[in-house]
Amino acid sequence: MDVALFDYGAGNLHSLKKGLEAGGGTVTITPDWDRALSAEALVLPGVGSFGAAVRSLRDREEDVREALEAGLPCLGICLGMQLFFAESEEGEGTGIGLLPGRVRKLKGRRVPQMGWNDVAAEGDTLFRATDPGQGLVAYYANSYVCELTGDPSPIIAWSEYEGERFPAAVRRGRAVGVQFHPEKSSSPGLRLLKNFLEEAAR
């Protein structure tokens, strides 16, 4: 499985690359959209800020959205999931616009959310075999969350932080986003990466 891990130019992608390779992917880190969109699967990582990440789109938002709508398997992690939306309170610029809604700041007193939190998954195949009978616990490092407008069916998992419930994962077709960091979420997170790659291979 040829996997393109997109590089926004910020952060360490090493642990995510290793996690994807452990799941069976042959991973290329690239800042080039032509290379990224020609891969068998695309991963948008969770490093950097919304404003910097949308600048890296370089007016390719429509190309990326059309590729995802046409069935290119994509996993958006944290910031990568937020890029599925058109706008964010974190910074200026336009995201991919794959899902309707916006990205807004967490309302809790302690922001960012840093550490482990429960994920209540709703039966999507992305979470297959990640639940050992006691629920999925995943690692978060986020100040912002996604807020969908209209149809809530793209939401496939929820989490709660300081009394605020927010989408932990979303799906549209073969594009899935998770607000947490699976590459930092121990064996259940690595299983999630493997599930994504197995589904992409099908």
- Give Rg (Cα) of the chain: 15
| Predicted local distance difference test score (pLDDT) of residue 58 | 86
Q: Is 1 helix (H, G, I), strand (E, B) or coil?
A: coil
Q: Tell me the two tokens of residue 27.
A: 């991973």
Can 183 be counted among the known catalytic residues? yes
Q: What is the CATH number of the domain that holds 123?
A: 3.40.50.880
Active-site residue, from 61, 74, 78, 146: 78
Q: Which is nearest to 44 in space by CA: 202, 152, 189, 182?
A: 182
pTM of the model: 0.96
Whole-number pLDDT of residue 109: 94
Q: What confidence score (pLDDT) does residue 129 get?
A: 82
| pLDDT at residue 133 in the model | 54
Q: How many domains does the chain have?
A: 1
Q: Which residues constitute the domain of residue 163?
A: 2-201
**What is the average pLDDT score of the chain?**
95
Cβ–Cβ under 8 Å, residues 79 and 57: no
21 is catalytic: no
**For 102-118, what is the mean pLDDT?**
96
Tell me the residue type at 66. E
